[in-house]
Amino acid sequence: MKDKISWKGKLVLITGGASGIGKLMGEIVLKQDADLIIWDINEVGGVAVMKEFSSIGKVIFLKVDLSNVDEINFMAKYVTSTIGTPDIIINNAGVVTGNMFSDSNEQDIQFVMGINAYAPMYVTLSFINSMIKRNSGAICNISSMAGLISNPRMSVYAASKWALIGWSDSLRLEMEITGKNISVTTVMPYYIDTGMFTGVGRSFIPLQHADFVAGKVIESIEKRKAMVIIPMKYWMIRLMQGLLGVKGFDLIIGKWGKVYQTMKTFTGRK
Q: Which of 98, 268, 254, 265 is nearest to 192 (CA)?
A: 268
Angle at 254 between CA 248 and CA 259, to 5 degrees: 155
Angle at 118 between CA 265 and CA 141, to 5 degrees: 75
For residues 87 and 11, the answer to whether their CB atoms sit within 8 Å is yes
CA distance 207 to 202: 7
For residues 154 and 263, the answer to whether their CB atoms sit within 8 Å is yes
For residue 21, the 8-state DSSP code is: H
Q: How far is CA 191 from CA 7, 108, 218, in A?
A: 27, 21, 18
DSSP 145-156: GGGTS--TT-HH
- The one-letter amino acid at 93: A
Reply yes or no on whether 260 is catalytic.
no
CA distance 6 to 251: 44
Give the active site residue among 118, 122, 157, 190: 157
Q: How far is CA 238 from CA 49, 189, 244, in A?
A: 38, 15, 10
In terms of C-beta density within 10 A (0-12 exposed, 13-18 middle, 19 or more buried), how is residue 215 classed? middle
Helices (H) and strands (E) in the chain, counts: 8, 7
CA distance 77 to 160: 26
Residues with catalytic roles: 157
